[in-house]
Chains A and B, each alone.
Chain A
Amino acid sequence: MNLNFNKYLLAIFLTASFSAKAIPTPEAVEPQFDADDNPTYIIKYGKGDRLKEDGTPLNLIQIECQGKAVDFVTDEELDQCRGDDSLVEMKYGWMDFSTYKGWRAYHAECHVCHGPDAMGSTYAPSLMVSIQEGLSYDDFFTVIMNGRGEAEGAQKGNVMPAFGANTNVAPHVEDMYRYVKARADGKIRRGVRLPKLPKFKEVE
């Protein structure tokens, strides 16, 4: 496979010190917001063999086609990427710490109903799909805080509990949204972990 990395090289994270053996030390970034002030993510893809401190490779592989993780593209797009050699296999990527926290909080709190990787279960909707279909951050926030019962249109017996008072959930809603949005946008392939950037520390 002919791998085309060039357009994914990100100088901001992959400084000149990067080599096959070195462990890169990328910079922390602050939590991101988009132009409408909604929380958003930074996901960047790179290449090379990032090593753990004990020297073993992290072995995280992302496969991209047309700027999206490969499981989000259609068969036609995939064929096209194969044809023009733009199917890219990358050895690792980064997500910002806030998005990572969202990933973690999602899988601890939401996963038990909404399924792994924001993909839904037999009875709870896929939040990834909900965001693709237009669920706004405000609605996402409101439903998590207040819950959703039959009065709000939930099917009988399918309730969403209110998490406004849950200290493991409420402080992380922005981050959860960052993660689910990144999934909805096709930036994080399921099942594969992206390493996180270091935690951003507020300057006092």
Chain B
Amino acid sequence: MTTQTSRSTAKAVRRSPLGILATATATHGTGRGDDTPLPKLSGFVESSFSPLAYEVSKECLTERPGDGSRTAVVLASLQGDTITEDLAGQRMVSGRVHNPLLFMQATANSVLGYLSREFQITGQMFSLSTLDDPVTELLAMADLLFEDPELERVLVLGVELGGGERVAEVHRELAAGTGRPVPPASPAATATAGLAAAVLLGRPAAGAPVSVRPVSVRPAGGEANERNAGQAERHEAEGSGTAEHPGSIQSLFELAVVHRRLLRDGGSHLLVTAPVAGRAPATFALTAHAPVPGRNETENHADQ
């Protein structure tokens, strides 16, 4: 079955800019040389999901420390911690005793709780699953949360695990249902691979050297058309705009890459997200407002 209900989100998407305070990316188990050494988190075992989520969050929150009571966190992951789910399922059907640690870490909330304790974040925390592009959903969520005048920062992050044959089967069915691509099958050696990206957002006036805002027109044929957004600056289009598998966090990685480049070089870029069935791809303009003198940028994963 393919779901083809057309969708209108005209009122759901606002057009206000957000400041990007910090970004971070991490990969694990991909077999490449630049995989990230992940921290060992007390109480979390077997799966890279929670360590990946913690690592990228920690990078952002350490780079730009702030008031935890004025910080919200939103995590997006299409399927959550599939490694833990599958491990628990395998143990159960083979009659082995359940591991209480798998119970504790089975929900994405658990690592958010760990993070909240480490950084004394008492603001709200949400975890989401979306078939759409996570950048669009996460920025819209942050935009909505910033309606609360007491909130200063929203940390948004995405986590995605490779997965084995069961996850591949899920993707095949999703592809049939959404008309979107099936991700390449993970080699057995990288079935436990994972990736994560985080973006710490604030209001534009909060000292963020780069801002991001949605624009209403995607570039046609690769050329940016900003007339409807009322902007005169020249943008360089960024992002493939080609269909990713549902819920892919690739565009969150791209946003982090663009952010680093703008910090280094200045200027502005258009980020075009993957198209979604029934909805056009979203386009976001990232603009550097001021160079950061003496900034020592980490370029890990900057070219993914």
Q: Real complex partners, A and B?
A: no
